[in-house]
């Protein structure tokens, strides 16, 4: 039998014998390779997971510290800039978005190291080139405090905290441009556009969560300096009023005081509370009587100080929404061209170390100069 096999092989064409010999040599070579190397060679077209969002293939993004604790729907909205929210929720409902290979709901919160699968997405909006950071910073000289967890600035009047209708770029957008390498930067709270003073931002999600919790639990001490029309006589006064938001026909937001709860059909009123302290009274021969107050917030409702003081008959000087419009015009002639409302001091525990922080912003030059003018006229 052995002779017959050898005979058959001798009768095979030379080309076939060469191929058999080459295959045998390859097999012997492979058997001497380490196991991992043999496995790698057996899958020549193996590719790593894609971490860039495109319309060609699904992307796999690893959750970093900046997105830890965030809801997956908010993570997708931030990641898929320009993609409609309706599309975000559709791919969530369909199961095309997965976390660690599992289907999840829109309110699922991400953990550090989670791998999020995002289905192929059109990149026409996603791939816009990043804008270069401006040569000079608008807020470099306004920093009150900064470490690896938070950033606190003394916001100038006239800057909205974020972009919106009619405002292309606010404080948060400007700071992100100035700090292109920052993985996370979010507003902790808001200040009205014409209000100056202490504004806190978080540089870590854990810091943002802890600061929000401190604000909700009234573990902050926020104080404002405000100049009002009229003569305030009480050294200390606690004001508690129910406030309600509403929209003007042009879509602009306003707040009023709810004096009759029976008219609040949808139970939308919110309790507001402020402790006012008298700092000084002024009497100008032309402008009339004015009072400088320190306002300590107990709650932090939208336009709280402006609405409370206007309701009490002491509108803030320069307030273009709830103030005395005729008086505001005359104030411009006397040097006050903005609302006299300044966030002067905030006391809070550090969100990560729990150290006591006292954050102070001095009265801006234009407001200090106006007070000096009032002093000289007495």
**Choice among 114, 154, 192, 319 that is catalytic:** 192
Phi, psi at 246, each rounded to 5°? -155, 165
Using an 8 Å Cβ cutoff, are 275 and 247 in contact? no
Tell me, yes or no, if 192 is annotated catalytic.
Answer: yes
Using an 8 Å Cβ cutoff, are 319 and 339 in contact? yes
Two structure tokens written together for 22? 């080459």
DSSP line for 94-130: TT-SEETTEE--TTPBP-TT-EEEE-----TTTTPPP
Distance CA 92, CA 356 (A): 42
Q: Is 319 helix (H, G, I), strand (E, B) or coil?
A: coil
Q: Residue 117 pairs with which residues in a beta bridge?
A: 60, 98
Distance CA 339, CA 316 (A): 7
Distance CA 346, CA 125 (A): 40
Phi, psi at 347, each rounded to 5°? -110, 130
Distance CA 226, CA 309 (A): 10
User: Could you tell me the CA-to-CA distances from 262 to 31, 248, 266, 267, 308 in Å, in that order?
Assistant: 87, 22, 10, 9, 20
DSSP line for 215-229: HHTT--EEEEEEEEE
Phi, psi at 81, each rounded to 5°? -60, 130
Element (H, E) at 361: none
Element (H, E) at 84: none
Query: Which residues are designated catalytic?
Result: 192
């Amino acid at each position: 039998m052995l002779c017959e096999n050898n005979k058959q092989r001798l009768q095979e064409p030379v080309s076939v014998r060469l191929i058999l010999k080459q295959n045998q040599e390859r097999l012997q070579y492979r058997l001497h390779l380490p196991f991992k190397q043999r496995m790698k060679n057996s899958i020549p077209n193996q590719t790593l997971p894609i971490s860039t969002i495109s319309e060609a293939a699904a992307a796999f993004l690893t959750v970093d510290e900046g997105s830890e604790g965030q809801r997956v729907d908010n993570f997708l909205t931030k990641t898929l800039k320009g993609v409609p929210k309706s599309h975000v929720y559709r791919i969530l409902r369909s199961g095309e978005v997965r976390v660690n290979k599992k289907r999840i709901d829109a309110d699922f919160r991400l953990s550090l190291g989670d791998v999020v699968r995002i289905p192929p997405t059109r990149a026409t909006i996603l791939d816009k080139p990043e804008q270069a950071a401006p040569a000079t910073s608008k807020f470099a000289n306004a920093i009150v405090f900064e470490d690896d967890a938070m950033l606190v600035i003394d916001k100038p009047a006239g800057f909205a905290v974020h972009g919106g209708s009619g405002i292309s770029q606010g404080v948060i957008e400007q700071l992100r441009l100035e700090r292109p390498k920052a993985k996370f930067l979010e507003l902790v709270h808001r200040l009205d556009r014409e209000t100056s003073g202490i504004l806190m931002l978080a540089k870590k999600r854990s810091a943002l969560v802890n600061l929000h919790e401190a604000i909700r639990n009234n573990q902050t001490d926020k104080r404002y300096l405000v100049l009002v029309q009229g003569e305030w006589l009480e050294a200390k006064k606690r004001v508690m009023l129910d406030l309600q938001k509403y929209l003007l026909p042009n879509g602009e937001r306003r707040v009023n005081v709810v004096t009759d709860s029976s008219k609040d059909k949808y139970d939308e009123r919110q309790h507001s509370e402020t402790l006012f302290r008298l700092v000084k009274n002024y009497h100008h021969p032309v402008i009339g009587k004015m009072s400088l107050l320190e306002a300590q917030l107990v709650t932090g409702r939208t336009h709280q100080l402006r609405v409370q003081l206007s309701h009490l008959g002491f509108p803030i000087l320069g307030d273009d929404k709830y103030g005395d419009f005729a008086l505001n015009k005359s104030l411009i002639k006397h040097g006050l061209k903005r609302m006299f409302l300044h966030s002067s001091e905030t006391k809070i525990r550090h969100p990560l170390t729990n150290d006591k922080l006292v954050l102070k912003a001095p009265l801006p030059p234009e407001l200090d100069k106006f007070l000096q003018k009032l002093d000289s006229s007495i």
